[in-house]
Amino acid sequence: MSEQPDPAAPEEIRDYIRDIIRDDLAAGRREVIVTRFPPEPNGYLHIGHAKSICLNFGVANEFGGRCHMRFDDTNPVKEEHEYIDAIQEDVKWLGFRWGEHLYFASDHFERLYGWAEHLINAGDAYIDDLSPDEIREHRGTLTEPGRNSPYRERPVAENLDLFQRMRAGEFPNGARVLRAKIDMSSGNMNLRDPVIYRILHANHPRTGDAWCIYPTYDFAHGQSDAIEGVTHSLCTLEFEDHRPLYDWLIARLPVDMVPLQYEFSRLNLSYTVLSKRRLIQLVQDNHVRSWDDPRLPTLRGLRRRGIPPAAIRDFIGRLAISKSDGVVEMALLEHCVRELLNQTALRRMAVLKPLKVVIDNWPEGETEVLEAINNPNDEAAGTRPVSFSGEIYIERDDFMEEPPKKFFRLAPGREVRLRYAYFITCREVIKDDAGEVIELRCSYDPASRGGSSPDGRKVKATLHWVSAADSVPAEVRLYNHLFTRENPGADGDVLDDLNSESLEVLADCRLEPGLANAAIGEAVQFERQGYFCSDPDSTPERLVFNRTISLRDIWAKIQKQNRQS
């Protein structure tokens, strides 16, 4: 697994959250910076979570503090160990470590329960017998105040007795809740006596059946921050309206540390959806294969597609940390991926739609070993041997029997260069009974070894190829955007914008033989094709590669146009 990213000098990155931290340190309000990443273990992480992960771990790293990994496991109905394990694995894959600071809200259940009793004894919380529908009805609307529950003024002793009996399991789900007593006329709906404990007779992944009442996220979140000594609670903007409740609860509880909450805009990415509800729909309705489908923005999907974690960190590092919502171009993420892989990925040749070429004047039975460059941007990567013989495969798209004016690749009577090899000229086209081209007969120039001619003649195209004799068969999966629109669902149902061509499977590809040993997830560049990686479905008998990204960089073009305008 990758190491913790090197800390950046704090003065190198400027945004309002980091400026607050600098001021807190300079004024002595905080001595050590403590942040936390608090996922709920009820699903898989996606690239939107990566923004929070990189920010929370990043600022802690930059300012010499620490970031806690904490699972807010307060809803056993939706939580599973599978998600707990997957989230930890994904955060580590992204490059971050929490050391000994792994926590669960369930670690704090006893103290949270005690603090709930503290609120009851102080007259700041009460047991409500209203049904969930009745609570919603009493809550009011954005333009109308709520109404007090008829149970709001229960005596403290009665509230305490009922709460203890709730814990003992005397009541069924939904029979009673514990609510904070704040203000049913508040303009902030979150302050209209929010529920802070509810009855859930469900087995918890960590505590089993030890509890049948559970704190709500709003109660567990801030109080867990206080218990763990979190100094800066960094949340996305949807929690801004929850901050007054966060502060109200902290102010009324016997906490040693008062954490402060700050919000930032969440990540919205073009041509995708990051809504958990939408992602679940895509998986459950079989619009994608699984949670790690390379078309999904889940970290598992990005990993399977071959996106390097360093490219994701680079992408997140280029985004503004602010309170302004906006949509980030997918092209920026793609640019970061290309920029990294261009420097690190080894080059290999692969023919995705093979067309056989027979070189008639090649010495019969002879094989020649040529030298190919592994990475032109990394001299230390060296070279590799590739075998060349009288039968090879080229891309079917690199040949046209009747080419248009600006088609410079292979055609009858035309000469082209084979990468690392020789000039060849097409002499004859072989077709099947249906008139489809199935083979080309060519000649080669023995004096053009290495791709240049001693007489100085020029050719206008260089083609990649693989040897027919030792190339290996493979399935290659070409992934495109899952949606056809930048803002899926903008005019209706998001499913109406699904891209029917988001996956193309090529079953009869031919690859350099060395690719048979590629590690799962290892990135390589198929020359002239794009960046690819070996898929977990791959076996020695059946290789499978995923296209990570094509070679064309749209973002660079966008940036150039912006500079010129």
Q: Which residues are catalytic?
A: 40, 266, 276
Nearest-angstrom CA–CA distance, 48 and 273: 10
Nearest-angstrom CA–CA distance, 101 and 33: 14
DSSP notation for 447-494? GGTTT--TT----S-EE--EETTT-EEEEEEEE--SBSSSSTTTTS-G
Beta carbons of 59 and 281 less than 8 angstroms apart = no
Nearest-angstrom CA–CA distance, 122 and 125: 8
325, two tokens:
């919502």
Residues 151-158: contacts with CB within 8 Å, 24+ apart? 151/126, 151/127, 152/126, 152/128, 152/181, 152/193, 153/126, 154/126, 154/127, 156/120, 156/121, 156/123, 158/127
> Which of 229, 150, 215 shows the shortest CA–CA distance to 178?
215
Nearest-angstrom CA–CA distance, 107 and 112: 10
b or e along 169-201 (b: 16 or more beta carbons within 10 Å of the residue's beta carbon)?
Answer: eebeeeebbbbbbbebebeeebbbbbbbbbbbe
Nearest-angstrom CA–CA distance, 211 and 107: 12
357, two tokens:
């070429």
22, two tokens:
């600098």
Nearest-angstrom CA–CA distance, 412 and 393: 17
Nearest-angstrom CA–CA distance, 211 and 113: 11
Nearest-angstrom CA–CA distance, 33 and 297: 31
